[in-house]
Structure formats: structure tokens, C-alpha cells
Structure 1
């Protein structure tokens, strides 16, 4: 019996990144049964995984093995480090253990390729040491990848802070964006986060290829600009294999109260609200959102409600045990009992989005959530919080035109009247119809990309067949 080709994956201590890269691995295993074995090495920050992550890792197939490294010690770090800096430092400090684990795997199996998260770029050197192919897995949009590839040129040409630049930022193949809509890492040129971002972006060219969770039909001009080296002359081949979204076995409805609630709602009547696995709002913003939902008179499902914080990513790498319902407006739960459903915990987002009661998705614009919304044809309200989410919001509103975006006041707050108006805009009227029509067209393209002869599936097969051939014990084929 022919030995399985072994793929090593290096992820990072962020659940959404782990989901994306492991869903990619699941697709590989599903399409090429009994051909590949995957080992995913995961640096960690905390000993206590979330409910959602426990469920996810419990459903992985047997030929995907996850190795969780010991938690990173952060005692010597400043408390004011950005989320991106914390992640990058955590991954960098885990690299000796990553190297040791990779060497151990390589001595007992035929490792043909290493696929690393974009934050784990240092692992590319281990691939060179082991004489195997290495790929960067980019779990964001092609537009954000373009920003990374073009970052050195932007750094040279724009001397002021990007947020202060008077004109929209132009990047080949992309829609123009305001400086304030560039990722958080761009927002302070003197910061450690910006320096780490530039360095991480420059290292993209160290890989043998970049695997990106997007698809040609959605970002054709951007992918064309990347392939024609308009952004960076040494860009490796880019492989769009999306949309890769989370898949789960069907969840019994009696195990999730929100699905039972949705069953009793009319089709396309409910707006679903979620700020992802860690996004948080200020107390003032929580109040305005809640009162706006009430004012809209539309039905709503609001999940993952959290205690307030003035730092949008406050709960991303930690768990706050304070009861967040205490921070909602007085009497809100009682007044909206027939109108809405509020829950603090995890909800099965895939099952929620494909439910026929859902009419729109108010999202923080994490890329996984955007792709899930597209796959299930659900129009969006774009409410970005941190990281690259504002860039994603610009793409879905100004580029793809499948979302609406609320306006903030001078204090950066979306007031209740704006919340109500934006909900009405995406749920009713001519504008709603236009957005819905474009989303259904994009959904069709997304589904076609993942069909047997679709653009992404062809790319997927090309990579898989190459790795399968390298798995054969014929040394001369290693770099053919």
C-alpha cells in the first residue's frame, strides 16, 4: 500500500485562523481519501479553549492530527501591545518548539509540504532546512494580500500617517480606500505593530506559493494584478482556493435554543448580529445598538453579547466572565421579548446563516464571516471593529456592493437612529432588493468556484496532485 503524503501545518493562537486553515485541510482529506495525512501544530496562549473551539476540534477527521504547544508566557510584555503584536510575539516565541515538532514528524513520515499561517512566516526556514516545499496560507481577501505586497511601496511614497492622507489610497487591482480603512497595523508608522507588519509582508516572497481563501470570480482584478507582479516583482504563485468556510455535522435543533426560535419566525425576517469570537463594543455603543434594534421594529437574533470595553479586541485572547446582559439598556430584554432573541454564548453561525428566517447579517467583517454570508447568500451590514476588518468592510460595501455600512458620529458611535435606518435599508425597499440580487449572484459564483470544474477546485486539485506525486518514494520527483 502506497504511503500517505504528509502535510505539516503551522497555525496561530487565533481560533478563526485555525478554523480556516483546518477547513482547508478537511477539504484536502475529503477530496483525496487515503492519500494525505495532516498534522497541525498550534502555538497557544491560554489553557482553556472556548466552547466553539472544543466543538470544532472534536469533529476533525482521524487523519488530521492537532498538536497544541504549551502556552506562551507574556509576563514580560507591556499591557498596551496591539492584538497583532501579541499574536506575532506568541508565534515567534513558539518557533523552537515548532521546529522540534517538525523535525520529529519528518523522521517518521514523508512530509512533502509545510503550510504556515501568515503570522507564522518564520517556519518557512524549517522547510528549507528539511528540503520540502513551503506555502503561506493567507486567510483574508486578495485585497488585503495586495496591501501586504504593496506595503513597502506605500511606505516609501506616503510619508504622513495613512489616516491623515488627504486622498484615497490607490493599490493596483483594488478599489481605492481611505487611509482610515487600512488595517490596524498601518495606523501608526512608529509602532511595533507596523514594523512587524512590514517585516511579515516582506517575508511573503520566501514561500513557494501563497494559498488564499478567496476566489477568482469575486476578486478577479486584484488577483490579476498580483499574478502580473504589479505589486511586488518577486511575488510567488498565488493559489485562490476559496471560499473555504466552516462545515459542521448537522446540529440537533433542541441543542440550540436560537435555532428553535428561528423556526418560529417568517422567512427573511430576522437580522442576525454577531461580532465574532472576540469583538467587543463600548458601553455607550452597546446601548445605542440595542435601542436601535428596538427602534427598527425588525426581528433580530443577537449572539455572543459581551461585557463592554473601550478596546474592540479586548475579548479576543481572553474570556470575561461578567454577565454582559447587565449592560443592556434597562428593560430592553422585556420590551423586545417578541421581537428579538439575545444570547451571551456561542451560536452555530453556519446553521444560523443558512436558516430561511435570516434576512441580513450585521457582522464585524471578519473574513470567515463574510465568506459564510456569501456562501449562504445573506446581505450584510458592515460593522468593522479591528485588524483588517475596515478594509473588508470597504470591499463588501464599495467594491462588491453586497453590504451597507452605518455612519458614526464625531465620537465614533453609531447612534440608535442610524442603527434603525441601516437595518431598514438592508431589510426593506429598493436598496435592499438591489443588494439582495447582487448577493445571490455572488453566492452563485461562490458555489460554482467550489464545484468539480470550478476555478477554485481546479486550483485545489493542481496543488493536491503535486503533493501526492511528491509523496511517492522517488527522490528525483521532489522538485519536478
Structure 2
């Protein structure tokens, strides 16, 4: 473990520890929070890094030499006797076991740090509650998904107790108190089969949510007004009782290291017309089947639209295949793309292997649409920069996010799956790409995305006493009071 001398107890600035679970979708938002606490709110922050099975992207992110002076990365070494899991263990179950194995020394780590004023955990690190109760350290949870999924998670123990059948077999949508109904086909993947270990882990973490001293939500009131109002006012959440919620988002990456391939990508963008490029990137862990990847390639080519494609080798078994090796650049697109695709599209397309400077691409004036898996981090980044989306959910809660973005918020288009082939056809891909770049509907989505971008900037503004900025101020004041 990296050595670090914690600040003296008499300092007016609180020392807090931040603990993410593995996976870039969790590491990045808690890293953003840690940086914000250190730079804007005067906190001393110890970022606890689980190093077991760390991906190349994780190592690169957390080894940045340009950290704020009050932010320190504390490496948690791999467990000496990790749980032996079968090779076909699903990603979420594997993640939960890694956390379970590697938090055995959490008590000694927190004592070595001088007992921080608070510990901020990821939603899948709830093992920390027992440890921190013993040490009298308050635990705050940073919910890295939507407020809508947070509300569903609070309701899940009730569903588990009252409903006997599988949730996917319910005749009507799930009606979370005060929130928009959720179609059963849009439920988070981890609750679609109540007999498997993934469900048991998700239920366990959900039942522990009320143990938090406070809940930090990576959203803002203009983006999820109905859900945030429900959590605040609906009697159900008072009865649980739900922890006090603090919408502090959207917290996204403000800077990131630019590799040579990233620099080449941005240089290519500089030479494209405004709002003409479709950015195709399916998150830190997403993979397509070979058949679907082929359809995507043909659809992009048939559309004739400019594109950037962050491409990975296909996987016919697991859409989360890249979850633990994101940043691996061993892909060779020539081995899995249609023959001649690279040559035929060289004037309108640009390919990157595995990883891209996503925020830099999204904020670029040439980017006209974001073809995304609808993970929450990517969704927040797209809305922050006012870019409409092609919604392409793969796993976790992404189907739920996609439906909300397309149907409730009106900033995304969802391609239709061909029921006979089980894939989105090249003709459908051509249609949605053309729609979002060239049609009046696409212009309307872009207008709505820009309105959300403006509201996000206001929410985070210190000079305008933005709602999200003030929420985080209140949390820091609580830590100072402790």
C-alpha cells in the first residue's frame, strides 16, 4: 500500500477517503468526485485503489503525475488468497467477489490513515458499513447510476418480499413509488433472474443502501425532476427511511491524458464539418457479437455519414467481455471487419482501438451524435456537451437509461432489433444514423440536449450558487462538523 501521512486532526479541512469498486464505470466517477473535493472544496482525499485485476486504463488514469496536492492514491494490494472463480463467472459477480476479497484489510487501512472524517463508497462496496460502524466513521454512498435506478434499488427489497414470480414475468410495468413505470424488458440485467448469484449480490447491496449517512447522486434536478421529487417527497422513501440525497452532478472527466491515437483522432475531427460526425463508443466494457459488428460496419458505410468508431474484437458470448481489460490495444480490426471496409470508408471514417478521449470528442464542434451503450457516465458526458444519442444498450441498467433518454427526455433514438435475426440490421443502422445527423427530428434532439447542457452548467456553477454545487457544499460542511 502506498504510504501517506494524513493531515493533522486540527486542520479545518476534512480528510475523507473515497473507495470505488472495480471497473472504469465506477472508478472514473469516484475519481471525478475525489478531484472535485480536493480542488474546489478544500478536502484532503485518500483515494483507495483496489489493484486486483486492474485494467490498463485504470492504471493509466490513477498514475497521473498532475494530481492536486491534497489528493493521494492509496493502493490496496491484491488479496493473498482470492476467491477462485470459474472462467465463465459473470462480470458483476466477479466484481463483487473482488471487492469482498480485497476489503479484508479495510479496517487497518483506515486506521493507518488516521480515521478519516468520512468514507465515500461506491454502491458495490457496502462491506465497508460494518467496518466503519466499528470505527465510528460515517459512510456516504456515491450512486454512480441514475436517480431512477437508485429509487428502484430502494424498492427492490419490497419487490423481493412481496412478488413470488420472476420480475420479467410480471404482466405490467414495475411501478416504483412516485417514479415513471419501468417496462419489465428494461429492468436492470442483474434482477432478471432471481435464482442466480448476480441477483443475490445486487439485492444485498440494495438492502444496505439505507445504512448510508447520505447518498450522493450523479445527476441534477433538471435532468431527473420526477425521480428526485419522489425521493424527497414520497412517503415510501420516508418509511424506509432512505438516506438524505444530495444531487451533485453531472460530475464527469474534465481532463484526461491524450495518447497519440487520441491526438490523431482529434486532428481528424478538426478537418470535418460542424455536427457531421457520429461518435461510436460502447463504454469501457462493451463488446458486440461478430454478426452485429458486421451489421454496424455495413450500416455505417451505407449511411455515407462521417464516423469515429472505437472498435473492439467481437465476442459472441459476453457483452461485458472487455470489462476487466479495457485499454488493451491488441485488437486488429482487419481480422474482424468486412473485407475492404477500411479502404472503402477511409475518407469518412476514423477507427480507434479500445479507448478514445471521449470528452474531448464529445465537446468538439464536429461531433453531431453519440452512438452509446447508455452507461450513466457516457450519458452524463453526452448531455454535458449537448450531444444527442443513438441508444445502444448492452448490459446492466442500460436498457432502462436508453428508454428514458428516448421516450421521456427526447434526446436519443433507439434502433429496432430484427426479431428474426436477433440483430439490428444494416438498413436500420443506416436509418437511425441518417435521422440523427440530417433530419428535423435529429435537430430537435440536438436542441433538447443543448438545453440540458446549459442547465448542467448552471447546476455546477459556483458563481451562480448552482443546485449541485451547493449540495456538495452541504456535504462537506457535515464532514467539517464531524
Q: Same fold (TM over 0.5)?
A: yes
1:126 positional shift: 2.1
2:324 matched to which residue of 1?
Answer: 317
- Equivalences for 1:263-412 in 2 at 5 Å? 263-318=270-325, 321-410=330-419, 411-412=421-422
CA distance in 2, matches of 1:279, 1:254: 20
1:353 positional shift: 0.3
CA distance in 2, matches of 1:45, 1:198: 24
Secondary structure of 2:242's partner? coil
Relative to 1, partners in 2 of residues 1:358 and 1:23: Cα closer, same or farther, differing over 3 Å?
Answer: same
Counterpart contact for 2:56–2:325, Cα < 8 Å:
no
CA distance in 2, matches of 1:376, 1:141: 18
Secondary structure of 1:303's partner? strand
Relative to 1, partners in 2 of residues 1:249 and 1:95: Cα closer, same or farther, differing over 3 Å?
Answer: closer
CA distance in 1, matches of 2:261, 2:290: 33
1:219 matched to which residue of 2?
Answer: 224
1:156 positional shift: 3.6
Relative to 1, partners in 2 of residues 1:46 and 1:253: Cα closer, same or farther, differing over 3 Å?
Answer: closer
2:23 matched to which residue of 1?
Answer: 14
Q: Please, which runs of 5 or more residues in structure 1 have no aligned partner?
A: 471-477
1:174 positional shift: 2.5
CA distance in 1, matches of 2:394, 2:344: 28
1:181 positional shift: 0.9
CA distance in 2, matches of 1:325, 1:308: 16
1:462 matched to which residue of 2?
Answer: 474
- Equivalences for 1:37-48 in 2 at 5 Å? 37-46=44-53
CA distance in 2, matches of 1:55, 1:254: 16
1:393 positional shift: 1.0
CA distance in 2, matches of 1:274, 1:414: 16
Match of 1:155 among 155, 160, 163: 160
1:131 positional shift: 1.5
Counterpart contact for 1:296–1:421, Cα < 8 Å:
yes
2:3 matched to which residue of 1?
Answer: none
1:180 aligns with 2:188: no
Counterpart contact for 2:406–2:414, Cα < 8 Å:
yes
Counterpart contact for 1:7–1:113, Cα < 8 Å:
yes
1:230 aligns with 2:242: no
CA distance in 2, matches of 1:430, 1:322: 37
Instruction: Give the TM-score normalised by the residue count of structure 1.
Output: 0.92
1:165 matched to which residue of 2?
Answer: 170
Counterpart contact for 1:162–1:180, Cα < 8 Å:
no
Counterpart contact for 1:360–1:427, Cα < 8 Å:
yes
Could you list the structure 1 runs, at least 4 aligned residues long, displaced by more than 6 angstroms after superposition. Answer: 252-255
1:250 positional shift: 8.1
Counterpart contact for 1:269–1:357, Cα < 8 Å:
yes
1:374 positional shift: 0.3
Q: What whole-Å deviation, never above 9, does each CA across 1:225-279 have from its counterpart, x for those lacking one?
A: 1123424621110111000001116859896111010011000000000011110
Relative to 1, partners in 2 of residues 1:51 and 1:133: Cα closer, same or farther, differing over 3 Å?
Answer: closer
Return 424-433 or 223-232, whichever deviates more.
223-232
1:51 positional shift: 4.0
- Equivalences for 1:23-172 in 2 at 5 Å? 23-32=32-41, 35-46=42-53, 49-51=55-57, 53-55=59-61, 57-58=63-64, 59-72=66-79, 76-106=84-114, 111-172=116-177
1:15 positional shift: 1.8
1:10 positional shift: 1.5
Instruction: Give the TM-score normalised by the residue count of structure 2.
Output: 0.91
Q: How large is the RMSD of aligned CA atoms in angstroms?
A: 2.0
1:75 positional shift: 6.2
Counterpart contact for 2:19–2:30, Cα < 8 Å:
no
Pairs aligned (count): 464
CA distance in 2, matches of 1:451, 1:392: 26
CA distance in 2, matches of 1:449, 1:50: 33
Relative to 1, partners in 2 of residues 1:325 and 1:74: Cα closer, same or farther, differing over 3 Å?
Answer: farther
Q: Please, which runs of 5 or more residues in structure 2 have no aligned partner?
A: 1-7
CA distance in 1, matches of 2:295, 2:67: 40
Counterpart contact for 2:459–2:466, Cα < 8 Å:
yes
Secondary structure of 1:22's partner? helix
Relative to 1, partners in 2 of residues 1:182 and 1:433: Cα closer, same or farther, differing over 3 Å?
Answer: same
1:52 positional shift: 6.3
CA distance in 2, matches of 1:284, 1:182: 25
